[in-house]
Amino acid sequence: MTKQVLTLRVNGEEHSLAVSPNETLLEVLREDLELTGVKEGCGEGACGTCTVLMDGVPRRACLTLALEAAGQEVITVEGLARAGELTPLQRSFVDGHAIQCGFCTPGMLIAGTHLLQNNPRPTETEVRKALAGHVCRCTGYAKIVKATLAAAEES
């Protein structure tokens, strides 16, 4: 398949890459840009661990063609911290023991970041709704929800 040149803006940096029309954003982020914080779980849109922000909106990178991201601002979990400082949500996940194996954490943090940007004082129900579709096999979700609410309270 003929490759096309894609200019991709990720975490504030611009990259020029040759990609096949059928390559996913997930493949390009992990394999070409080595942003391995973006995880591949199910590969079919069901687990949420590959979630990134595209122009501020959560998207499943496994279901997104890389070419669809042309001209959009992509934020991965690597792009959340600023100058080495964790965001309040990231800090709250650490302090609140909301991470066990960590495989779901990148997607949870992206979804939680989107929620708090748009609804700084969510209820527990709103947090659970925002995180629906993000599968965690370790924590039972309670600590993730609590950490998200704690981050909202803190900020």
Q: Does 141 bind ligand FES (CB under 6 A)?
A: no
| Site for ligand FES, residues 30 to 89, rule: CB under 6 A | 40-43, 45-50, 60, 62
Q: Does 27 bind ligand FES (CB under 6 A)?
A: no
Residue appearing with tokens 């490759």: 3
Candidates 4-12, 82-90, 112-120, 131-139 — which segment interacts with ligand FES by CB under 6 A? Answer: 131-139
DSSP-derived secondary structure for the chain = ---EEEEEEETTEEEEEEE-TT-BHHHIIIIIS--TTS--SSSSSSS-TTEEEETTEEEEGGGSBGGGGTTSEEE-GGGTSBTTBPPHHHHHHHHTT--SS-SSHHHHHHHHHHHHHH-SS--HHHHHHHHTT---SSS-SHHHHHHHHHHHHH-
Please say which residue, 29 or 152, places its beta carbon nearer to ligand FES.
29
x/- mask, ligand FES, residues 91-110, rule CB under 6 A, reads: --------xxxxxx------
Please say which residue, 99 or 130, places its beta carbon nearer to ligand FES.
99
Please say which residue, 90 or 121, places its beta carbon nearer to ligand FES.
90
Residues that bind ligand FES (CB under 6 A): 40-43, 45-50, 60, 62, 99-104, 136-139
